[in-house]
Amino acid sequence: MKDVAAYPRRKPSLRDRWDRRIFNLIADQSLQNRLSRLPIIKRLVRQDGEAVFDIMMGFINSQVLMALVRLHIIDHLADQSADFAELSDLCDVPQDRIEILCRAGAALGLMHIRKTRVRLSRKGAVFAAVPGLAQLVDHHEILYQDLSRPQDFFRGLTQPDLARFWPYVFTQGTDLPADDAKRYSQLMTDTQNLVAHDTLHGLDVGPAKSWLDVGGGSGAFVTHVAQKFPGLTCAVFDIVPQLSPDESFDRHVGSFKTDALPAGYDIISVIRVLYDHSDTTIQNLLTKIYTALPIGGRIVISEPMLGTPTPSRAGDVYFAIYTLAMETGKTRNSDQIIDIMNKIGFSDIKFCAGNRPFVTSIITARKK
């Protein structure tokens, strides 16, 4: 690490000089104290301070959430309200500590407390109702361990364990232990509902007769496709073999790194797949999709993307850093994906930021 104070400065630009003036004003504590007494400015000063404090305590927020999930407090409150004594007994946590945890949960807006009684808030009920969210929170422990020395993590000096949670990232995908596939496929299946809903919302399949979901895992997405478009023949291509004995779609077991994709499907989707892989891998994958599609056939890409035009919390904080910890992963913005698609020859490319970009955004295109 170089000495920041001694690091040579370049000649400041006009913008740098302007920013410096503003930063000096912000750093002037007596001015801040005077400003914080003026009606409108007072609110802005407080909001800035709160926002900084919020960022600083982010880790504690997430650990409170993790404790509420792991102690099944959210589950329990989704059924009925409870008082501190009951939660203390249920969770095997001393009552004074359960009170502190519940008050933290209430401050985060997940529950309400009246005297000693705790009930779920609307936000808490939303959390409890989204399938897979608790499992997602639970598996964050791996990511948080990986980020425990963030300066080394960003220098690329750590060996993140998250890559082992997604074991296909370093292999051709052909030698995947069945238990590993089951573990991550379950997490993906549990969280598929919202993604499928937002991806298929407003999508018109026209005269298409068949749909192949590449990297479709357990088939949760094509099950939604088949429900929404009952006339379509659906199939999954994945390294994952059949996970349930009563799959109602065709399954092609193979790796898109080593095998060609089956031809003959009018629509091919890749849902939450590209951001797991390097540019070279996705370039090859998208080329294989282009080759497999008939003329006029359609590709549907759906996954969380970086914020465009400005960074977003979900895309640029959560997903970008999560996929960085996977080592081969990379969250992209829509332009980066569209550039690759243009080079391959896709036409009629359309981007839809989606109703909830923290769940997914969508790009569709056709083969000329």
Determine, following the binding rule CB under 6 A, whether residue 256 of this chain makes contact with ligand SAM: yes
For the chain, how big is the Rg over CA atoms in Å?
A: 24
CB of 282 to ligand SAM, least distance (A): 11
Q: Which of 240, 261, 282, 293 binds ligand SAM (CB under 6 A)?
A: 240
Compare residues 33 and 278 and give the one whose CB is closer to ligand SAM. Answer: 278
Determine, following the binding rule CB under 6 A, whether residue 273 of this chain makes contact with ligand SAM: yes
Determine, following the binding rule CB under 6 A, whether residue 304 of this chain makes contact with ligand SAM: no
* Contact between 61 and 55 (Cβ < 8 Å): no
The pair of structure tokens assigned to 83 is 């008082």
CB of 215 to ligand SAM, least distance (A): 3
Q: Which of 65, 143, 188, 338 binds ligand SAM (CB under 6 A)?
A: 188
Compare residues 105 and 217 and give the one whose CB is closer to ligand SAM. Answer: 217
Determine, following the binding rule CB under 6 A, whether residue 367 of this chain makes contact with ligand SAM: no
Listed residue (299, 304, 243, 241) closest to 272, CA to CA: 304
Q: Which residues contact 347 (CB under 8 A, 6 or more apart)?
A: 365, 366, 367, 368
As a whole number of angstroms, the distance between CA 313 and CA 307 comes to: 8
Judged by DSSP in three states, 56 sits in helix
Counting residues that bind ligand SAM (by CB under 6 A) gives: 21
Give the Å distances, CA to CA, from 321 to 215, 248, 288, 328.
Answer: 22, 36, 28, 12
Q: In sequence order, what E strands does 115-204 have?
A: 117-120
Near ligand SAM in 122-181, by CB under 6 A: 168, 173
Near ligand SAM in 210-239, by CB under 6 A: 215-217, 220-221, 238-239
Compare residues 61 and 174 and give the one whose CB is closer to ligand SAM. Answer: 174
Q: In sequence order, what E strands does the chain have?
A: 82-83, 111-114, 117-120, 210-214, 233-238, 250-253, 267-271, 298-303, 346-352, 361-367
Compare residues 90 and 203 and give the one whose CB is closer to ligand SAM. Answer: 203
CB of 17 to ligand SAM, least distance (A): 47
Per-residue string for binding with ligand SAM, 50-79, x by CB under 6 A? Answer: ------------------------------
CB atoms within 10 A of CB 223: 20
Strands 361-367 vs 210-214: parallel, antiparallel or unpaired = unpaired
CB of 317 to ligand SAM, least distance (A): 19
CB of 78 to ligand SAM, least distance (A): 24
Binding site for ligand SAM (CB under 6 A): 168, 173, 185, 188, 192, 195, 215-217, 220-221, 238-240, 255-257, 271-273, 276
